[in-house]
Structure 1
Amino acid sequence: MTHQPRSTTSTPASASAKDAGPAPGHPPLAAPRPPAEHRVWPRTFHDRLTAPLPGLKALARFAREGAVRPGPAGLADIPRLPCAPGPLPRVDARTVAVTWAGHASWVVRIGGLTVLTDPVWSRRILGTPARITPVGVAWSDLPRVDAVVISHNHYDHLDAPTLRRLPRDTPVLVPAGLGRWFHRRRFTHVTELDWWEATELNGVRFDFVPAHHWSKRSLTDTCRSLWGGWVLTDPDGRRVYFAGDTGYGHWFTRIGRRYPGIDLALLPIGAYDPRWWLSDVHCDPEEAVRAARDVGARHMAPMHWGTFVLSAEPVLEPLTRVRDAWQQAGLPRERLWDLPVGGSRVLE
């Protein structure tokens, strides 16, 4: 798919370090759009799919043979899942630090801001068993949340009970078409972005980038809102890429070329089995390592595993496979940040 975002401005960004342009031959980064800008979006984003959604034959096969949970042997390792909640690291305005709260929820400290990604602090989400590891950071231990970024509207990434805990004037950055969901819940500072668009908060730039996924929250809203990941760039030019939920594909190379110098990629490694059903929308561990190399990330931190049982692979298998894939790729071991739930790392 070569579709270009229909509303990305071509105005060059400033020449500061944080807005360093893409590699030669690629268009300049879009100038940041105003926060909480009113936008009008198309009724559907089906044209952004990189693979067709499952048809009747695939659904019938899944009903006939699809396993959605591991067997007893695959669940036996739940007590061994790494979980080590600890205090958040001390930071200042020039520190970049991440703490994994579980699944796709991170506490990102960047440019003096505290940013939550896809925050899910609930014990349960719709349609799945209760979480198998506790939340890695107590809600009461969070500093003031300066912004929330959402990758898409699936229930394991957009959790209404968690979001109700936030002050309604918290800046929320969301994919195109998802703003009305937040406006209905009386959030007042909601910014919707198309792919390759950006906004800025207190000197930190937030770019919304493509992903190989889809969106759906009810029976009637399939692909009515967009999906994607986020590149956060601080005033010193350090970059954190949060991939959201995604399969493997061509977008990673394009992201890496457009945003050179990504310091840390937060990439999903779980919910991949059976592959015939999930390969288009969820990376397996080996693909996640390839994606980290495609975007040119110096470090990779795995996510989207060890929290909710969403598919059929054994619960510890994603961690074992990502470590093996990293070693086989000949990458420095210290650059794989395979954190326990609740673990933190600081970019040096």
Structure 2
Amino acid sequence: MTEETKRDGQSHRGPSSRAAGPPRPLGELRRWPKSFAGRLTAPLPGVRAVTRLAREGAARPGADGLRDVPLLPFAPGPLPSVDTATVAVTWAGHASWVVRIGGLTVLTDPVWSRRILGTPARITPVGVRWDDLPPVDAVVISHNHYDHLDAPTLKRLPRTTPLFVPAGLAAWCRRRGFSRVTELDWWEAAELPGADGRSVRFDFVPAHHWSRRTLTDTCRTLWGGWVLSDGHGQRVYFAGDTGYGHWFGEIGRRHPGIDLALLPIGAYAPRWWLRDVHTDPEEAVRACQDLGARNMAPMHWATFVLSAEPVLEPLTRVRAAWENTGRPRSQLWDLPVGASRLLTP
């Protein structure tokens, strides 16, 4: 074992995910099936389930569940300085991250709006002021739900910004003037040149979720997560929105040596309603282990009130679940909104 493969006392790097297949051309025009419903790993809720949810009135936390809003972690700071060999992540809130990799600045599911359709206003401010962002080199979108695909935020970007999106979603982006849109199917990838002359690879991977933007387009576009890899073999996995299931193990096998997994831990109650599409904190920790990821950063909590669990509960539960694994506490990056952390080769 060489020094490069020694990480936390075990072999870490493994075969490169770049062997997964050649990258797709950027911005190519593609045709897709009319529906991706065959990719669902569980049936979507029907009328009876929706009726039960309405009858129980359990879609949002009560007053006791909201009392800890002032205690939600919020610690904005300046974006760290990085070189082309350093990976840095900054949590802007919810599923929005500023990922610095290969000298590029990549936004994940950017939502800088105060309010999104169908939910109360955000309960913590955005952790990074838009004016403080460096030039954005790329955006990755996991799926088209409003808390992950925010049209007002995308309007702030130059229309030449490269967008990487799930299959079927490019038309929506092109209608809004974006000229460099690359849509991918599961297990496909594309690349952008990094600042050091080495490419940053964007691999689109499966998730246990679904898509809908309007009442008539259910599962018309795909959903998934992203593995970002730089020329030094460093890898960041962004899960987007997902329930727990078999895909995590398969992603880990196809992309060994993930350095950091950005995993959702909130919007999970009531469990009978959300189990299939949103991991709870314990499942997120299990997913990190399935992936073989070295570090985990929780997300998808502390920003929008989307479900019934108390607002601070995801943090306390994920910390307890992590402790139960016996893994080093330093590998759980439970960042406040606005905080950053760095990876080095």
Which TM bucket (shorter chain)?
over 0.9
Residue of structure 2 in register with 1:61 after alignment: 52
On the 8 A contact 1:18/1:238 being kept in 2, the answer is no
* 1:20 to 2:16 alignment: yes
Rounded to whole Å, the distance in 2 between the matches of 1:63 and 1:74 is 19
- The CA deviation at 1:66 is 4.2
Residue of structure 2 in register with 1:119 after alignment: 110
On the 8 A contact 1:120/1:157 being kept in 2, the answer is yes
* 1:263 to 2:288 alignment: no
Rounded to whole Å, the distance in 2 between the matches of 1:141 and 1:276 is 41
Rounded to whole Å, the distance in 1 between the matches of 2:15 and 2:293 is 17
Residue of structure 2 in register with 1:248 after alignment: 244
Rounded to whole Å, the distance in 2 between the matches of 1:334 and 1:225 is 37
* 1:230 to 2:219 alignment: no
Residue of structure 1 in register with 2:23 after alignment: 32
Rounded to whole Å, the distance in 2 between the matches of 1:304 and 1:76 is 19
Map of 1:28-177 to 2, 5 A cutoff? Answer: 28-177=19-168
Map of 1:279-294 to 2, 5 A cutoff? Answer: 279-294=275-290
Amino acid at match of 1:290: R
Rounded to whole Å, the distance in 2 between the matches of 1:101 and 1:21 is 27
Rounded to whole Å, the distance in 1 between the matches of 2:57 and 2:291 is 32
Rounded to whole Å, the distance in 1 between the matches of 2:45 and 2:110 is 28
Residue of structure 2 in register with 1:11 after alignment: none
Map of 1:312-331 to 2, 5 A cutoff? Answer: 312-331=308-327
- Secondary structure of the residue aligned to 2:64 is helix
On the 8 A contact 1:18/1:235 being kept in 2, the answer is no
- The CA deviation at 1:55 is 1.3
Rounded to whole Å, the distance in 2 between the matches of 1:158 and 1:18 is 34
| Range 282-291 or range 61-70, more displaced | 61-70
Rounded to whole Å, the distance in 1 between the matches of 2:88 and 2:59 is 34
- The CA deviation at 1:331 is 1.1
Per-residue displacement from partner, 1:44-101 (whole Å, max 9, x unpaired)?
0000000000112212211211411111111000000000010000001111000000
- Secondary structure of the residue aligned to 2:228 is strand
Rounded to whole Å, the distance in 2 between the matches of 1:281 and 1:63 is 19
Name the % identity. Answer: 76
On the 8 A contact 1:18/1:205 being kept in 2, the answer is no
Rounded to whole Å, the distance in 2 between the matches of 1:93 and 1:39 is 32
Alignment equivalent of 2:208, drawn from 212, 227, 236: 212
Gaps of 5+ in 2: 1-12, 194-198
Gaps of 5+ in 1: 1-16, 23-27
| Range 305-314 or range 62-71, more displaced | 62-71
Amino acid at match of 1:263: D
Please report the TM-score for the alignment, with normalisation by the length of structure 2. Answer: 0.93
On the 8 A contact 2:14/2:257 being kept in 1, the answer is no
Please report the TM-score for the alignment, with normalisation by the length of structure 1. Answer: 0.93
Residue of structure 2 in register with 1:201 after alignment: 192
Give the number of aligned pairs. 327
Per-residue displacement from partner, 1:233-282 (whole Å, max 9, x unpaired)?
00000000000000000000000000000000000000000000000000
RMSD: 1.2
